[in-house]
Homo-oligomer: A and B are copies of this chain.
Amino acid sequence: MKTRIYVTLKSGVLDPQGKAIQHALDGLGFAGVEGVRQGKLIEIDHADNVSDDDLDQMCRKLLANTVIENYRIERG
C-alpha cells in the first residue's frame, strides 16, 4: 500500500529555497511567476494494517516540524 505525505511550510514562514527558485526562473526569462514555495513529498510503502493514526504519528514525530510546517496525508 502506498501513502503520499505532503509537507509544506506554513504561510507565514520564510522560504529561502522557494525564493531562490523564483529568482532562477526570472533569470531564465520566465515571466509571470509571482511566488514559489518548496515543500516535501514523502511516499511510504507500507503494510495494509498500518492505520491512519500511525501515519499521523509518523508525521508528528518525524516527517514534519509542526511548528513551521503543515502536512497532508493521502492514502493510496
Query: Residues of A at under 8 Å CB distance from B?
Result: 6-8, 18, 21, 24-25, 28, 30-47, 49-50, 54, 57-58, 61-63
In the assembled complex, the CB of A50 is this many whole angstroms from the nearest CB of chain B, namely: 4
Min Cβ gap A54→B in Å is: 6
Q: Which residues of B contact A32 (CB under 8 A)?
A: 46-47, 49-50, 54
Chain B: CB-nearest residue to A34: B45
Are B30 and A36 interface neighbours, CB within 8 A?
no
For A33, the chain B residues whose CB sits under 8 A away are 44-46, 50
- 7 extra interface residue pairs, beta carbon distance < 8 Å, beyond A8-B41, A28-B62: A7-B41, A32-B47, A33-B44, A36-B42, A36-B45, A37-B42, A40-B40
